């Protein structure tokens, strides 16, 4: 007698879900040393805001203690935060910048 073997083939359903990269905000924290015109300049040169938008963000930073310079994917947010910090330190200002998830 021969014994036949049966094998069951199970198919796994694999679903790959692509997720959008998480977004991060670059926050400027108010201090009593960094001049407002320097903050405006950083917002224009590094974050590519218009003069009017940069002034509005600077007023928000001044009035509420912090303001969002921009919202980006992590790598870009981190790079812009580093660039702004380096520029600030090169000019002798203690501008504090944080990168946080949205």
Residue 18: predicted pLDDT: 79
CATH class of 23-101: alpha beta
Q: What are the structural domain ranges in the chain?
A: 23-101
Helix (H) or strand (E) holding 59: helix 51-64
Residue 1: predicted pLDDT: 53
pLDDT in tens, the chain (102 residues): 555 556 666 666 666 777 778 999 999 999 999 999 999 999 999 999 999 999 999 999 999 999 999 999 999 999 999 999 999 999 999 999 999 999
Q: What is the pTM of this model?
A: 0.80
Residue 5: predicted pLDDT: 57
Beta carbons within 8 Å of 34's beta carbon, 6+ residues apart: 88, 93, 94, 95
Residue 26: predicted pLDDT: 98
CB 54 within 8 A of CB 44: yes
CB 32 within 8 A of CB 62: no
Question: Distance between CA atoms of 50 and 52, rounded to whole angstroms?
Answer: 5
DSSP SS3 for 100: strand
């Amino acid at each position: 007698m021969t014994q036949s073997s049966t094998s069951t083939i199970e198919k796994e359903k694999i679903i790959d879900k692509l997720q959008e990269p998480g977004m991060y905000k670059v926050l400027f924290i108010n201090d009593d040393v960094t001049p407002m015109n320097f903050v405006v300049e950083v917002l224009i040169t590094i974050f590519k805001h218009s003069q009017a938008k940069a002034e509005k963000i600077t007023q928000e930073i001044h009035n509420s203690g912090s303001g969002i310079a921009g919202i980006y994917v992590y790598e870009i947010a981190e790079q812009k935060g580093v660039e702004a910090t380096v520029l600030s330190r090169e000019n002798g200002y203690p501008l504090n910048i944080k990168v946080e998830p949205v």
